[in-house]
């Protein structure tokens, strides 16, 4: 159990009194899937506490419990299909094999397509007795309102700065404070990112500075970025853009900017007008939301660097 989830875990009702459908939400990289996995085990555990010792827990931990179904987006696909949603519905109406209840977990609920979402509504409106549905979502707003309204929302917390840094240091992640800031406190995301991510962030800052000062053209700057991991690069850019916006509005870059970058960010902000800052933030957010789609990376970075081009 992740330390920052203990309080919310202990506050959950007994398994028999949990709502039929739970929407577990929060930003990426904070451990929502780990929490959902543990909750699914709790629902089939012979002691109803996720004891880890009973036969049901051992089967579930190994991914072999017959009364737990995990639905996730298949590798290489951008959505969960209606056939997959119908299979989940069929699973939940069956009589449990071992446990007193059946549990379905949708790990990528944001990627349910409209037909799959509509198929899922049947189960949400008329839940089979003894069935539980857990949906994990980074962005609940992407779900149909009819889906959201039929689930009880459980917002999982980010770790505090101290909890996040302790988690990373236990796993020997270098520059724990810097990478935790760059991932907006998402400790599990920070753990998964390459160890040179802080250096990548510094290079991105330098590229933005060069374009904003007129020392480099947007297209030349873009050359260094279209081959990097798009999700990481865009997440770093979103953090920098958010820091620029906060400087403009509240004279503070916020927690997503490492302390040693603050002076450089202020200098960069002084070269940009407010319109440039907010266009950069908006378009970086939009691009990151599409990072799993087949985008032309060169065009993405070309456009983003053009937004900070020096104004003559």
Q: What is the pLDDT of residues 113-141, one digit of tens each?
A: 999 999 999 899 999 999 999 999 998 99
Q: Given this model, what pLDDT does residue 261 score?
A: 87
Tell me how far apart the terminal alpha carbons of the chain are, to the nearest angstrom: 55
Q: Is a pLDDT exceeding 90 seen at residue 248? A: no
Arithmetic mean of pLDDT, 55-69? 96
Q: Given this model, what pLDDT does residue 256 score?
A: 75
* Among candidate residues 106, 94, 34, 37, the one with its CA nearest the CA of residue 67: 94
pLDDT mean across residues, the chain? 92
Q: Given this model, what pLDDT does residue 292 score?
A: 65
Query: Any idea which of 152-161, 203-212, 255-264, 296-305 has the lowest mean pLDDT?
Result: 255-264
Residues of the chain with CATH 3.40.50.300: 3-157
Q: Given this model, what pLDDT does residue 302 score?
A: 95
Q: What is the pLDDT of residues 3-14, one digit of tens each?
A: 999 999 999 988
pTM of the model: 0.85
Q: Is a pLDDT exceeding 70 seen at residue 151? A: yes
Q: Given this model, what pLDDT does residue 13 score?
A: 81
Q: Which fold has domain 196-306?
A: Zinc Finger, Delta Prime; domain 3 (1.20.272)
Query: Could you give the CA distance from residue 51 to residue 58 in angstroms, rounded to a whole number?
Result: 9
Which pLDDT band, with edges at 50, 70 and 90, does 17 fall under?
confident
Query: Any idea which of 30-34, 135-139, 206-210, 297-301 has the lowest mean pLDDT?
Result: 297-301
User: What percentage of the chain exceeds 70 in pLDDT?
Assistant: 98
Q: Given this model, what pLDDT does residue 291 score?
A: 66
Arithmetic mean of pLDDT, 150-171? 95
Query: Could you give the CA distance from residue 311 to residue 309 in angstroms, rounded to a whole number?
Result: 6
Residues of the chain with CATH 1.20.272.10: 196-306
Arithmetic mean of pLDDT, 85-95? 95
Arithmetic mean of pLDDT, 239-246? 92
Q: Is a pLDDT exceeding 80 seen at residue 295? A: no
Distances (CA, A) of 169 to 165, 175, 192, 196, 197: 6, 9, 13, 16, 16
Which pLDDT band, with edges at 50, 70 and 90, does 171 fall under?
very high
Q: Is a pLDDT exceeding 60 seen at residue 97? A: yes
Which pLDDT band, with edges at 50, 70 and 90, does 288 fall under?
confident
Q: Is a pLDDT exceeding 60 seen at residue 312? A: no
CATH of domain 3-157: 3.40.50.300
Query: Could you give the CA distance from residue 310 to residue 43 in angstroms, rounded to a whole number?
Result: 57
């Amino acid at each position: 159990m992740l330390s920052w989830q203990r309080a919310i875990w202990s506050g959950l009702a007994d398994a028999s009194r949990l709502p039929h459908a739970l929407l577990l939400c929060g930003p990426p990289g904070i451990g929502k899937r780990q929490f959902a996995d543990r909750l699914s085990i709790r629902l089939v555990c012979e002691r109803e506490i996720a004891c880890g010792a009973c036969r049901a827990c051992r089967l579930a931990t190994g991914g072999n419990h017959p009364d737990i179904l995990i639905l996730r987006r298949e590798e290489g696909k951008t959505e969960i299909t209606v056939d997959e949603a119908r299979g989940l519905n069929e699973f939940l109406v069956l009589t449990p094999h071992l446990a007193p209840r059946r549990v379905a977990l949708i790990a990528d609920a944001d990627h349910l397509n409209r037909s799959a979402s509509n198929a899922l509504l049947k189960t949400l409106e008329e839940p089979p007795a003894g069935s539980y549905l857990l949906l994990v979502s980074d962005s609940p707003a992407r779900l149909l309102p009819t889906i959201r309204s039929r689930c009880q929302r459980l917002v999982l917390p980010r770790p505090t700065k101290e909890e996040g840094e302790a988690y990373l240091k236990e796993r020997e992640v270098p520059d724990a404070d810097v990478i935790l800031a760059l991932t907006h406190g998402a400790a599990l995301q920070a753990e998964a990112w390459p160890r040179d991510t802080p250096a990548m962030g510094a290079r991105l800052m330098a590229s933005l500075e060069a374009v904003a000062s007129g020392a480099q053209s947007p297209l030349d700057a873009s050359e260094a970025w279209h081959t990097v991991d798009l999700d990481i690069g865009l997440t770093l850019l979103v953090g920098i853009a958010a820091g620029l916006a906060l400087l403009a509005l509240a004279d503070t870059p916020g927690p997503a900017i490492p302390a040693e970058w603050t002076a450089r960010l202020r200098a960069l902000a002084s070269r940009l007008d407010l319109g440039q800052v907010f266009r950069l933030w908006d378009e970086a957010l939009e691009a990151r939301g599409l990072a799993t789609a087949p985008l032309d990376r060169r065009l993405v970075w070309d456009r983003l660097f053009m937004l900070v081009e020096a104004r003559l």
